Chains A and B, each alone.
Chain A
Amino acid sequence: MAEMLYQRDVYGKTLVELGKSDPNVVVFDADLSSSTRTCLFTKEFKDRFFNFGVAEQNMVAASAGMASCGKIVFISTFAIFATGRAWDQVRNTLAYNNFNVKIVATHAGVSVGPDGASHQALEDITLMRIIPTMKVIVPADGPQTRDAVLAAYQTQGPVYVRLGRPKVATLEGKGIFKFGEAEVLSEGKDIAVIACGIMVTQALDAAIALKNEGIYCRVINMHTIKPIDSKAIIKAAKETKGIVVCEEHTIVGGLASAVDEVVAEHHPTTVLRVGVRNRYGQSGEPDELLNEYKLSVKDIVATCKRVL
């Protein structure tokens, strides 16, 4: 049985590590520190933590002011508020200045569960990806969350890191995380399945099911969505019969679009998308919602068969 971890817990612990090693690390939250787990940092470094209350716009613009004074600022809240509520502050005041602010947002996707549509960010990857200086990382499991947060810390300028709410299974045999470099988790020449976040586990399960039917998938964990690993995509386009992209996010503007853009320019091939199609989320348990929004293992299997 794979280890199950909350990405948010890993994030909080990694912040404490960074807080110990670098006095320039400052953390902001907007009244969700116990959910985002920035509360772990607060306990150790209360002088370098600021709670902004329920005021995300203020938090984002203040992080720009703080960063202008040489600090590395991690700001956290739920993904929908960080990227939606405060988008203009992110675009004009944070990213336009290319400041060293890391937006680590939690509770992305329908897997938020019972809270329903208002709290399930399905557009955040798009909203961040379209901003010129912004980088985007969507780690697939607990340990990779630490890698992503450290990569964000080491990367100059604004970075968006997308985390989920539920516990996720730790993936085996990932190798060393490299920012901007896709991970090939299984080899296959029939179909390339490119996924991010919790959809990587689903993709691996789909690949096992397909293997039993004699269909071999190359499963790629595209943890860095911007800058996208074009080489890995072009290679997959050349070496397989088609690509299936899986994301717990709208199919418009996110990972699927990023893959489409590379394929269309460099090596046109079939690209099919497993993602949310022009809908809001709703209340339910994560598994029920993954089924409802056609993000389940069987949906990936069926989509892969359509490629062949």
Chain B
Amino acid sequence: MIKTIDEKEIKLLEEKAKQIRRLVIQMLAQAGSGHPGGSLSITDVITCLYFKVMRYNPKEPYWQDRDRFHLSKGHCCPALYAALSEAGYFPAGHLLTLRKFGSILQGHPDRRVPGVEVASGSLGQGLSVALGMSLAAKVDTRDYRVYCVMGDGEIQEGNIWEAAMACSHYQRDNLCAILDYNGFQIDGCTKEIMNLEPVTDKWRSFGWHTIEINGHDIKELLYAFEEAKTIKGKPTIIIAHTIKGKGVSFMEGVLEFHGRAPTKEEAEKALKELE
């Protein structure tokens, strides 16, 4: 039975997502490099996970029964860092040190950041990492869940499909993957560079339960995460249709912002839109 979701709560989550988007813009403008497009496309997914779905305690980052999160598309870490800071893992003061020498906030995430379980950055490995975490729960008979956000370009990596096969072979129903399907990768749109379609059929044929939703609709996201918890005997993937650069009009669907930070002026303009 899927729980009904309170409208007020949805509003609060939408506000939180906006706050994370603001932080992402500020961090990237200050850093002068990084990946705004994908950070903004995963913001709503990350917001739902950290502020509604997942079980964790920022005061005890290594609490054994915590739900695990792994950002396989490591380059979109600004959204994760902002969420971790908002969740209380570390003070907000660190955020503006992103990508700077000596910062805990490296260009791609690693374990010096409280709340980051496993480093990422080299694409295509995160689903395997999540599988390892999920199997550890089985070995230890713990009931935590594992969440893994992958990029769409990223699933062109063969390692992803090795993991996809294994997650279903081992019936990892405590594992929920999220595909950030924004349709773009560095060199262009996924359709042109290396077509992923029919992507849902691919996952289904690998033995996964699939849920396709609008990855910016908080309500749809929350229902999808609830549904995933009810699926037994197989892993779930949420195919989240998203927009690269979501929330900032001049970044939405603009390839350039995959890997270019906003200038100071662009950041000001973006922050006005996100007020």
Residues of A within 8 A of B (CB): 26, 47-48, 50, 52-53, 55, 57-71, 88-89, 92-93, 96-97
Interface size on B, residues (CB 8 A): 34
Give 1 or 0 for each of B127-167: 1 = CB within 8 Å of chain A CB: 01111111111111000000000000000001100110110
B133:A68 contact, CB within 8 angstroms? yes
Q: Does B59 contact A (CB under 8 A)?
A: no
User: CB-CB < 8 A to A65: which residues of B?
Assistant: 70, 118, 128-136
* B273 CB, nearest partner CB in chain A, Å: 36
Q: Does B250 contact A (CB under 8 A)?
A: no
User: CB-CB < 8 A to B117: which residues of A?
Assistant: 68
- State the majority secondary structure of interface residues on B: helix
A55:B162 contact, CB within 8 angstroms? yes
Q: How far is the CA of A47 from the CA of B130 in the complex (A)?
A: 18
Q: Does B52 contact A (CB under 8 A)?
A: no
B170:A50 contact, CB within 8 angstroms? yes
Q: Would A93 and B122 be within 8 Å (CB), given that A52-B166, A62-B128 are in contact?
A: yes
A58:B131 contact, CB within 8 angstroms? yes
A55:B139 contact, CB within 8 angstroms? no
A63:B162 contact, CB within 8 angstroms? no
Q: Does B111 contact A (CB under 8 A)?
A: yes
* B74 CB, nearest partner CB in chain A, Å: 10
A62:B163 contact, CB within 8 angstroms? yes
B139:A47 contact, CB within 8 angstroms? yes
Within 8 A of A (CB), among B79-137: 110-111, 117-122, 125-126, 128-137
B122:A66 contact, CB within 8 angstroms? no
* A295 CB, nearest partner CB in chain B, Å: 35
User: CB-CB < 8 A to A52: which residues of B?
Assistant: 162, 166
Q: How far is the CA of A67 from the CA of B64 in the complex (A)?
A: 13
**A-B CB contact pairs (8 Å), 23 listed:** A26-B139, A48-B139, A50-B135, A58-B166, A61-B125, A61-B159, A62-B128, A62-B135, A62-B163, A63-B132, A64-B132, A65-B70, A65-B129, A66-B136, A66-B139, A68-B129, A69-B64, A69-B133, A69-B137, A89-B128, A92-B121, A96-B119, A97-B119
Tell me the number of A-to-B contacts counted with CB atoms below 8 Å: 105
Residues of B within 8 A of A (CB): 64, 68, 70, 110-111, 117-122, 125-126, 128-140, 158-159, 162-163, 165-166, 169-170
- State the majority secondary structure of interface residues on A: helix
* B146 CB, nearest partner CB in chain A, Å: 8
Q: How far is the CA of A47 from the CA of B64 in the complex (A)?
A: 20
A55:B122 contact, CB within 8 angstroms? no
From B110, B132, B140, B166, A68 is in contact (CB under 8 Å) with B132
B119:A93 contact, CB within 8 angstroms? yes
Q: Would A61 and B136 be within 8 Å (CB), given that A89-B159, A92-B122 are in contact?
A: no
Q: Would A57 and B159 be within 8 Å (CB), given that A48-B139, A65-B70, A88-B122 are in contact?
A: yes
Q: How far is the CA of A68 from the CA of B61 in the complex (A)?
A: 12
A71:B139 contact, CB within 8 angstroms? yes
User: CB-CB < 8 A to B162: which residues of A?
Assistant: 52, 55, 57-58
B139:A62 contact, CB within 8 angstroms? no
Closest Cβ neighbor of A60 among chain B residues: B128
* A19 CB, nearest partner CB in chain B, Å: 12
Q: Would A92 and B125 be within 8 Å (CB), given that A26-B139, A65-B131 are in contact?
A: yes
Q: How far is the CA of A153 from the CA of B243 in the complex (A)?
A: 47
Known: A57-B125, A58-B131, A71-B136. 13 other contacts (CB 8 A): A52-B166, A57-B128, A58-B163, A64-B118, A65-B128, A68-B117, A68-B118, A69-B132, A92-B119, A92-B125, A93-B122, A93-B128, A97-B119
* A304 CB, nearest partner CB in chain B, Å: 44
* B132 CB, nearest partner CB in chain A, Å: 2
Closest Cβ neighbor of A55 among chain B residues: B162
A62:B166 contact, CB within 8 angstroms? yes
Q: How far is the CA of A47 from the CA of B140 in the complex (A)?
A: 10
A96:B131 contact, CB within 8 angstroms? no
User: CB-CB < 8 A to B133: which residues of A?
Assistant: 65-66, 68-69
User: CB-CB < 8 A to A57: which residues of B?
Assistant: 125, 128, 158-159, 162
